[in-house]
């Protein structure tokens, strides 16, 4: 102990230096916003990289769970298929909607390129004209939720103008009272989990948690689940209400989508084009 004291007092200049230097650095980082932000950012970067690594590892651990949910979904779909009148070709599954007597077929496609970070997002799937895909067809997510419309088609591939696009507008209704509205994305809020329902008439009451489904007026079949209201009754300048919607679709993890083929699409289009807009 005595030797330690002798050692410290002999090199007191160095130890005092360490003490004062530490105090100085501490004061610098604590009191200067720039230096503090740099310190925090570099720490965050280290932590962030560590988390990223961990995430890659965790994804593998989650594979089992993902498989289970896929298998469960498969089983559910198969049992539903048995209950419906189906004609099972190799690729297409024909679903006959007995209520409105429209028939839609669903075609599974794999997403080969996805984008979610841009203002206007477009994704690519591995099905094209050879599989009967045409521009304007609706695309829905595997479990629940909407994805967008087919935009351009080549022989083996097609691009989807996703909901996360400024031109995409989907006709939707509130499930409880069939009030019409349209679903758009990115009105000052580019959160990929949030969207907006607009043009809802003023007298309609929206509440948090109300379910939004497709109206069936566009290329989407009626009653596809879209999302839930998270912020209702946002007043706009016009005579309509808006609301913020939490989407069911998770665009960031989308692997497979279903392209909806509407058998009477062309017939309907031809008929409706006969009506001039300003007639």
Task: For residue 29, state whether it binds another protein (rule: CB under 8 A).
Answer: yes
8 binds another protein (CB under 8 A): no
| Straight-line distance from the first to the last Cα atom of the chain, in angstroms, rounded to the nearest whole number | 103
Residue 117 interacts with another protein (CB under 8 A): yes or no = no
Provide, rounded to whole angstroms, the least separation between the CB of residue 50 and another protein.
Answer: 21
Strands annotated E in 192-275: 194-201, 211-214, 225-235, 240-247, 256-262
- Pattern 188-227, another protein, x by CB under 8 A: ----------------------------------------
> Helix 2-10 to helix 12-31 angle, to the nearest 10 degrees?
70
Q: Which C-beta is closer to another protein: that of 25 or that of 72?
A: 25
Of 33 and 89, the one with the shorter C-beta distance to another protein is 33
Q: How many residues does the chain have?
A: 279
Shorter beta-carbon distance to another protein: residue 31 or 85: 31
Nearer to another protein, 38 or 81 (CB): 38
On whether the CB atoms of residues 94 and 84 are closer than 8 A, the answer is: no
The SS3 of residue 40 is helix
Residues 31-60 that bind another protein (CB under 8 A): 31-32, 34-35, 38
193 SS3 class: coil
Q: Considering the rule CB under 8 A, would residue 12 count as an interface residue with another protein?
A: yes
Report the run of H or E that residue 52 belongs to, with start and end. Answer: helix 33-83
Q: What phi, psi does 184 have (nearest 5°)?
A: -130, 165
Instruction: Pick from 6, 8, 30, 118 the residue near another protein by CB under 8 A.
Output: 30
What is 105-151 written as a DSSP string? EEEEEEEEE---SSSS-EEEES--GGGT--TT-EEE-SSS-EEEEEE
Binding of another protein by 25 (CB under 8 A): yes
Question: According to CB under 8 A, which one of 7, 20, 51, 256 is a site residue for another protein?
Answer: 20
Comparison of 5 and 34: residue with beta carbon closer to another protein: 34
Residue 36 vs 53, nearer CB to another protein: 36
**How far apart are alpha carbons 161 and 158 in whole angstroms?**
10
Instruction: Enter the tokens of residue 230.
Output: 């998270």
Question: Which spans of this chain sit near another protein (rule: CB under 8 A)?
Answer: 12-14, 16-17, 20-21, 23-32, 34-35, 38
């Amino acid at each position: 102990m005595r030797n330690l004291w002798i050692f410290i007092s002999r090199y007191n200049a160095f130890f005092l230096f360490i003490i004062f230097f530490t105090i100085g650095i501490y004061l610098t980082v604590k009191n200067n916003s720039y230096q503090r932000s740099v310190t925090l950012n570099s720490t965050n970067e280290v932590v962030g990289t560590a988390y990223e690594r961990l995430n890659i590892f965790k994804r593998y651990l989650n594979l089992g769970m993902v498989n289970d949910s896929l298998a469960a979904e498969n089983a559910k779909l198969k049992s539903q298929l048995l209950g419906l009148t189906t004609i099972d070709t190799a690729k297409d599954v024909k679903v006959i909607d007995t209520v409105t007597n429209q028939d839609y077929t669903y075609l599974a496609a794999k997403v080969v390129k996805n984008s979610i970070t841009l203002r206007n997002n477009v994704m690519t799937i591995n099905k094209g004209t050879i599989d009967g895909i045409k521009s304007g067809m609706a695309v829905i997510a595997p479990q629940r939720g909407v994805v967008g419309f087919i935009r351009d088609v080549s022989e083996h591939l097609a691009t989807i103008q996703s909901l996360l696009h400024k031109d995409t507008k989907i006709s939707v209704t509130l499930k409880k009272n069939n009030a019409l509205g349209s679903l758009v994305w990115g009105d000052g809020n580019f959160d990929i989990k949030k969207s907006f329902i607009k043009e809802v008439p003023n007298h309609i009451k929206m509440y948090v948690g109300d379910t939004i489904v497709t109206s069936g007026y566009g290329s989407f079949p009626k009653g596809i689940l879209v999302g839930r209201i998270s912020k209702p009754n946002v007043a706009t300048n016009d005579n309509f209400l808006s609301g913020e919607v939490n989407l069911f679709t998770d665009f960031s993890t989308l692997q497979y989508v279903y392209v909806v083929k509407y058998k009477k699409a062309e017939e309907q289009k031809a008929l409706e084009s006969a009506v001039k807009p300003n007639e």
